[in-house]
Structure 1
Amino acid sequence: MAIAAISTVVEWYDFTLYLYFVTVLARVFYGGGERSLALALAGFAIAYLMRPLGALVLGVYGDRHGRRRAMMVSMAVMTLAMALTACLPTRAVAGPLAGWLLLALRCVMAFAVGGEYTGVVAYLVEGAVPGRRGLVASLASAASEVGALVAAAVSAATVLWFSPAALETWGWRVPFAIGAGLAGMIWVGRSRMAESPEFLAHEAQGDLAAHPLGRAAGAERAGVLRGFGISALGSISYYVGISYVPAFLVATGAMGEGAALGLSTLAALMVIAVTPIAGALSDRYGRRPLLIGIAIAAAVMPTLLFPVMAHGGIMLALGGALVLAAIGGAWSAVAASATAEQFSSRVRLSGLALGATSATALFGGVSPWLAHVSIALTGGAWAPGAMIAAVAAAVVPILWMMPETAPRFVEPL
């Protein structure tokens, strides 16, 4: 269970690492300049769209052949993708082909990552003591933030250690090689894990779903829709309410880049602190009341906090960022178990792929850009918060009609 819980470190290590090194990669693979940066960021967005496909393929595989096997495949592909990235020829050696090779590996990485989080959450939910599912599943969310912090530390150390010339020549390869090594170690750990007890029970009874994707989209489509709504708010509250905040504060002149990055570290620590608390509370009081309460907070507070952060000074900016991080972290913690519990164990990975991962693709990758555009169109610092509020308001009725799924209150599916 511990190996599964920390596995999402690799996913967010890679995600954060690419964004921290995007300016270096733009020079190394696309030649430098504003157009090159745009190409590097566009490649990130294009690859992001591969996540739903990876979730579907690995989800069906995991429902048919086991959670452990699906997680082994995803981590093996992630290890290979990061190792090959560290070995790529640069534009100076291979010309434009270098940029295309980088994009291809980003797509492979995104494909593997698509099935990673859902597989981990399903494994944790099915292997945990029923009364501790919320807490155990929330650890996957906390581990994601740990991965982001590790990437930030490795990125900073690499930039400080190498001269600018050495960084562009070969130093940029080091963080990706470290990521490949980390992923390889987790793959070895996963090879020693036992299979999910719920999957083994279905396998022994011979009643595994022959067409899990079809059953999830048909007989269990209500769970898909609820999972989509839950993950939609989780994605936009994270990508706009946490990831976008440093860029927002710099763009509005609230603080400099150094202070904004420091604030993002504090926000990550807030998420790590809040996550297990929210997960444990959902075990005690239920998923539904906590999700409704957090959704109401998300519908009200972000629209108020963004203008305060922009114009209220550094301390209010810090306070606002920490409140937004607490909302996003608490939501992700409860959502981890709540989305998995929407489905029977026979189709759990396929259902999560259809609902949760597709929502992440739609409401995650492009939402920071949309937040930036919304400010330009409206002229108001409140606009990013209104985006979160709109999704939260749409999700509250879904939560209100959602049955409770915590084992303390109802028998698991």
Structure 2
Amino acid sequence: MTASADVEPRTLSRGSMAIAAFSTVVEWYDFTLYLYFATVLSRVFVGSGEGSLAAILAGFAVAYLLRPLGAVVFGHIGDRFGRRRAMLLSVAVMTAAMLATALLPTHAQIGPAAAWMLLALRCVMSFSVGGEYVGVVAYLLEGAPPERRGLITSSASAASEIGALLAAGVSALTVHWLSPADLDAWGWRIPFFVGAALAGSVWIARSAMHESPDFERQRALGSTPAQPLRYALAHHRAGIFRGFAISALGSITYYVGITYVPSFLTSTGAFAEGASLWLSTIAAVVVILVTPLAGALSDRWGRRPVLTALGVGSAVLPIVLFALMASGSGAQALLGAVVLAGLAGGVSAVGAVATAEQFPGEGRLTGLALGATTATAVFGGLTPYLAHVLTERSGWAMAPGAMIGVVAIVVLPVLMTLKAPATASDGRLRAAALD
């Protein structure tokens, strides 16, 4: 390794930052579409029998377990060969998976094999999304001015929610415009074709992005880890633990508190499919508004106090909010969904920058993969299915809110004791020691 003076990392151009931030629109359109369209997909790929929705949600949970593997693979590429290369590869895989999903045969055409084919493609999608998260968050953090990292990194969460909003809106419009027969026969393909076109456009846009300045610094100093996984396990254990805790809360608030809500409202009989999707669309708008505010507040007040306040809210409020949504009253359901979405959006916004700051530039993507992405697989992929099963078997509509509250209580001590962000010099020293 070359012993040289520090190479000061520059900030990225606005164009590269905008492409990175807003390309997450496609990432979360593609991925959350599956949950927003879960009741439709259950009929199309499993059949209309009892337990079909549970089978679709179980498939989501199984597929989500591939997300950490994708994060580690793409994280290795990003830590070893560059953030830009990893981000181009992940969106290419996503484009292919979305297009293939739109072309799948249905249960009516080939029977149970249709559901297995859908599951296989969801696994591919989950694998690619794992690489998306670690790449985009690291890229934005490394390219932003230090005093604006919370706001800029949170823009990825805001853009993600625009993608989720788009998924909810396209789903709602498709359900509204088509008859049930046409929807099940061919209309369900429309949102997936839209997603494939969006993902392809992002690949084209990303080809014009510059490389992360922090990765350029590593290459100039010769501090890029030769074995990112080994390096992260040797030197980032504390950061991995803290990242896991932060992401556990962010994942369960998002996936149970936002993306599971349409299925919850439909399965409990509180709302019809179309109405529940429109309610989720409103909640998504709230998240878009809350996210940059939470990110900016974390720049002003610090990550720890903002995350702690959000953690307390997540421990206290969700049970009441799910009770409101199950009440059958439109106004109460709207209030519950909006407040829950605000909590989830705030945790996601501040959690994104806080988890990335637990690692220096060297090995950052792999550290995020082992900590944040693993937590998301457990508390994001599994929890919608568990929430559905608990609600059906117990008959207690507040069970999903209780799940969020328990996780928040367990995670709060970690949030209250967060350390200062890791620095680039930490990574250089560790890389030297490992080499």
C-alpha displacement of 1:225: 0.2
Structure 1, unmatched stretches of 5+, are none
Which residue matches 2:356? Answer: 340
Cα gap change, 1:411 to 1:381, in 2 (>3 Å): farther
Could you tell me how far 1:123 is from its partner in structure 2?
Answer: 0.4
Which of 344, 349, 354 aligns to 1:328? It is 344
User: Within 2, Cα distance between the matches of 1:189 and 1:394?
Assistant: 41
Residue 320 of structure 1 deviates from its aligned partner by 2.6
| 8 Å Cα contact 1:30-1:36 kept in structure 2 | yes
Which residue of 1 is the match for residue 161 of structure 2? 145
Three-state SS of the structure 2 residue aligned to 1:195 is: coil
CA distance in 1, matches of 2:181, 2:319: 44
Which position in structure 2 is the counterpart of 1:290? Answer: 306
Preserved CA contact (<8 Å) 1:52 1:111 = yes
Distance 1:392 1:45, change over 3 A: closer
Q: TM-score, normalised by structure 1?
A: 0.90
Q: Is the 8 A contact 1:63 1:209 kept in 2?
A: yes
In the TM superposition, residue 305 of structure 1 has moved relative to its aligned partner by 3.3
Letter of the 1:119 partner, please give it.
G
- Aligned equivalent of 2:128: 112
Structure 2 counterpart SS, 1:178: helix
Change (3 A) 1:256 1:153: closer
The one-character-per-residue Cα deviations of 1:206-256 (angstroms, maximum 9, x if unpaired) are 110112112222211000000000000011111222233444445556555
Unpaired segments ≥5 residues, structure 2: 1-16, 428-435
1:201 counterpart residue number: 217
Aligned match of 2:4: none
| 1:115 match: secondary structure | helix
* Contact 2:387–2:400, Cα closer than 8 Å, also in 1: yes
Q: Across the two proteins, how many residue pairs are aligned to each other?
A: 411
Rounded Cα–Cα distance in structure 2 between residues aligned with 1:166 and 1:145? 29
Which amino acid is the alignment partner of residue 284 of structure 1? R
**Hey, what's the Cα distance between the residues in 2 that align with 1:130 and 1:44?**
37
1:189 and 2:216 correspond:
no
Deviation track 1:274-308 (CA, whole Å, cap 9, x = no partner) reads 00000011111111111111111212222343334
| Corresponding position of 2:8 | none
Cα deviation digits, residues 144-176 of structure 1 (max 9, x gap): 111122122323343455555554454433322
Q: CA deviation at 1:382?
A: 4.0
User: How do residues 211-222 of structure 1 correspond to structure 2 at under 5 angstroms?
Assistant: 211-222=227-238
Residue number in structure 2 paired with 1:400: 416
CA contact 2:314–2:408 (8 Å) conserved in 1: yes
Structure 1 position 101 matched with structure 2 position 117: yes
CA distance in 2, matches of 1:379, 1:118: 38
Instruction: Output the CA distance in 2 between the equivalents of 1:30 and 1:248.
Output: 19
User: Given the alignment of the two structures, is residue 124 of structure 1 paired with residue 165 of structure 2, yes or no?
Assistant: no
Distance 2:205 2:33 in 1: 23
Distance (whole Å) between structure 2 residues aligned to residue 251 and residue 82 of structure 1: 26
Tell me the CA shift for residue 181 of structure 1.
1.2
Residues 342 and 303 (structure 1 numbering): CA distance in 2 closer, same or farther, change over 3 Å? same
Tell me the alpha carbon deviations over residues 94-130 of structure 1, each in whole angstroms, 9 at most, x when there is no partner: 5554443332222111111111111101100001111
Cα displacement (A) at 1:193:
0.1
1:4-403 mapped onto 2 (5 Å cutoff):
4-30=20-46, 32-34=48-50, 37-91=53-107, 96-162=112-178, 166-250=182-266, 255=271, 257-311=273-327, 313-375=329-391, 380-403=396-419
Residue 267 of structure 1 deviates from its aligned partner by 1.1
Q: CA deviation at 1:369?
A: 3.0
Judge conservation of contact 2:359–2:422 (CA < 8 Å) in 1. no
Against the structure 1 CA distance between its residues 386 and 33, is the aligned structure 2 distance closer, same or farther, given a 3 Å change threshold? closer
The letter for the 1-side match of 2:240 is V
Q: Give me the CA root mean square deviation.
A: 2.7
Q: Closer, same or farther in 2 for the Cα pair 1:306/1:91, shift >3 Å?
A: closer
Distance 1:234 1:175 in 2: 26
SS at match of 2:224: coil
The answer as to whether partners of 2:98 and 2:193 remain within 8 angstroms in 1 is yes
Q: Cα gap change, 1:245/1:28 in structure 2, threshold over 3 Å: closer, same or farther?
A: closer
- Of 2, 18, 23, 1:2 maps to 18
Q: For the Cα contact (< 8 Å) 1:341–1:412, is it kept in 2? A: no
Aligned residue identity for 2:288: I
